[in-house]
Each structure stands twice: as C-alpha cells, then as structure tokens.
Amino acid sequence: MKTALIYSDDFSRFSYGSSHPLKPFRLKLTYELIKACGLLAPDDPRVIVPAPAKREDLLTFHSAEYIDMLEASNSGRELPGAAAYGLGYGDNPVFPGMFDWSLLVAGASLLAAHLVDSGEAGIAFNISGGLHHAQANRASGFCYINDPVLAIMLLVARGRRVAYIDIDAHHGDGVQAAFYDTDKVLTISLHETGETLFPGTGFERQTGEGTGRGYSVNIPLPLGAGDELFVRAFAEAVPQRIERFRPDVIVSQLGVDTFRSDPLAHLNITTEGFCTMVRMIKSLAPKWVALGGGGYDVTNVARAWTLAWAIMNDVRAPDDIPPSFLQRFSGAAFPNRLRDGA
Ligand SMILES: [Zn+2]
C-alpha cells in the first residue's frame, strides 16, 4: 500500500512557550529519527509538505466568531474576551503564530485525508495532527483547531464511511462531540479514566444520542494500566466494532502520552503494546489516515512514531538508534534502543 508522511520543518518554528509541555520540536525529532533509521530516502517522494488550511475548511466544524478570535490572536497578544474561548491561560496560551500553527496542522490532516480519499496513498501519516480536544467554539487541552474532525468531515463530505480510533491517554472528547448524534461516524476512544485525568469525560455510559446512539464508544482504563490491559481492551473492543461498521477509511489518533515516562498521564504503555495496536489498526483499515497526538516525553514520541511509520511501510525498523542521531540530539537524552525493554 502506498504511504505518505506529511511533514514540514515549519512545524517546529512554533512554540507554546518554554514551560509548556507540548513541544512542536518533537515533530522534527521524529522526522529526523525516521530518516536516521533509514526509513526514508533522501528526497523521498513519500514526504509531502502541507499547506495551511483555509478559513472555509475550518467552518465545517468551528464557529466563525471563534475563528475570528483565533485569527486576531495570532500576534501573540491576548485580546479582551479571549478567555471565553478557552484562550490565554495555562493549557492554551496565546503565543505568536498560534493561528498559523493551527492552520498548518489542520492543513496537514486535510492533505492526509485528501491523499487517502483520492487513492494517491493508502496510508497517510500526519505526525503533527491529532489535536482532539478542540471544541467548535473554544480551545481545550493544547488544541485550538480540531484537525481530526476536519479530516473526518472532508471524508464524509466525499461519501466515505469513517471510523475514528483514539489511543491517546486522554479521552478524544472534541471528536466525540462532533459526531455524538450521528451514525455516519463511529468514534472509539481508549484512555485513562476521566476520574483521574483531563478532560474528565469518556465513561462507558457515553454512547451517543439520537441516531448516534451506539456510535460513540468509550473504554476508560484504570490508573497505571500497561500493555497487557490496554492491548487486551483494544483487542476485545475495537476489531469487532470496526468489522460490524465496515468503514471505508479509519482515522486514528496515535497519542503516546500513554507511555510510562510521560509526565502528564498515569499509564504504563511500552513500544511493544503501542506497536501491537498500530498493527491491529493497519490490519483493520481499508484506507488509513494516521494522526499523531499527545506525547510529552519527546524521546517516546520520536521512537514510537518512527516504529509506527515502519509498520505502515511493512519494513522492520532497526533495534538501535543510530549513534549519529544520538550525538546530534544528545540534549534530548534518547536511550540507545528504539524499542523499550529487552
Ligand atoms: Zn493526550
């Protein structure tokens, strides 16, 4: 199956601020590690550079007044009334280029959806995407524009049946909200229980409403859940529902804040459990739009998404991280090995 990696060095031009846990630089680390591991050739045609989304693309989900506020805040200056849209404190800082960053990430996910829909790629991976908390009218959880929703909207508008699978540590609440009352999109989120983690939602009883009843699936996992529990829950819940729904395309959010060393969540996933789930998604997906997501230990982000890219391409990644990469990015304190454990 043809694959595409959506990437731009411009991703890491942006910064949420030095003390903020979301580091766009992790995307450059991931891209460089993929290259260092020999999983991309020089000038590889699989790498496709995104263009920023357009205002009308955002309007398929977000309100015009919210987009206006984001655009007006792009200078990095906090405007009166911004707080009503979730902007300007801790999680969702108003930083210079905030709107440009959001447009680029959204454009990258829309490009991934377009490539898969048009048949130019069977699998497209936007490592910058997966900002699943953004709501129609407000920023939430480091997310300003909900790129998974926009990608799904594009696919649905082109007559595709879409299933969304979210394995981030946090509940995919923004995506669930967008499709809560429709049977056109199946959303499945596995995450640390909302009793102990933001956003405090995603319980089993949240199953959708109206014609959407049964099309929102939530699998909350207890504090400390590791590979065994997480993967077993995935294997028991996801394949049967996907097979019954028969999607044309799977959109997945591959957050890696589930890993044991992540500073924000309280789960214990390793690269082994993560890769097992990525392989299962691949086997279930007729076509696949893969998105990034959370991940606040940047070494996990780069290692896990490098392994995911190898799986997408049916090649084996090396066991060790090349010494030249370790030397070049010594400040990030990578382990020698690509995989966790033995
Ligand atoms: Zn997360």
Residue 89: pLDDT over 80:
no
Please say whether the beta carbons of 164 and 264 come within 8 A.
Answer: no
Q: How far is the CA of 44 from the centre of ligand 1 (A)?
A: 30
> pLDDT tens, 302-332?
999 999 999 999 999 999 999 999 999 999 9
> What proportion of the chain, given as a percentage, has pLDDT over 70?
100
Distances (CA, A) of 17 to 3, 25, 253, 262, 278: 33, 12, 24, 19, 31
142: closest CA among 69, 199, 63, 181? 199
Q: How far is the CA of 241 from the centre of ligand 1 (A)?
A: 23
Look up 133 and say whether it is catalytic.
Answer: yes
| 114, 118, 119, 120: CA torsion to nearest 10 | -60
> pLDDT tens, 8-27?
999 999 999 999 999 999 99
Report how many helices (DSSP H) and strands (DSSP E) the chain contains, helices first.
10, 8
Residue 341: band (very low, low, confident or very high) from pLDDT cuts 50, 70, 90: confident
User: Scanning the structure block, which residue is given the tokens 């279930």?
Assistant: 284
Q: Are strands 185-192 and 216-221 parallel, antiparallel or unpaired?
A: parallel
Query: What is the 8-class DSSP label of residue 264?
Result: S
What is the chain's mean pLDDT, rounded?
97
> pLDDT tens, 136-156?
999 999 999 999 999 999 999
Q: How far is the CA of 294 from the centre of ligand 1 (A)?
A: 4
Q: How far is the CA of 27 from the centre of ligand 1 (A)?
A: 16
Query: Of these residues, 133, 170, 171, 191, which one is catalytic?
Result: 133
Task: Measure the N-to-C terminal CA separation of the chain; round to a whole number of Å.
Answer: 31
> pLDDT tens, 183-201?
999 999 999 999 999 999 9
Residue 336: pLDDT over 80:
yes
Please say whether the beta carbons of 199 and 139 come within 8 A.
Answer: no
> pLDDT tens, 236-286?
999 999 999 999 999 999 999 999 999 999 999 999 999 999 999 999 999
CA 133-191-33 angle, 5° bins = 80
| pLDDT of res. 269 | 97
Report the pLDDT averaged over residues 57-70. Answer: 98
Residue 342: band (very low, low, confident or very high) from pLDDT cuts 50, 70, 90: low
Q: How far is the CA of 89 from the centre of ligand 1 (A)?
A: 18
Could you check whether the bond before residue 199 is cis, i.e. omega within 30 degrees of 0?
yes
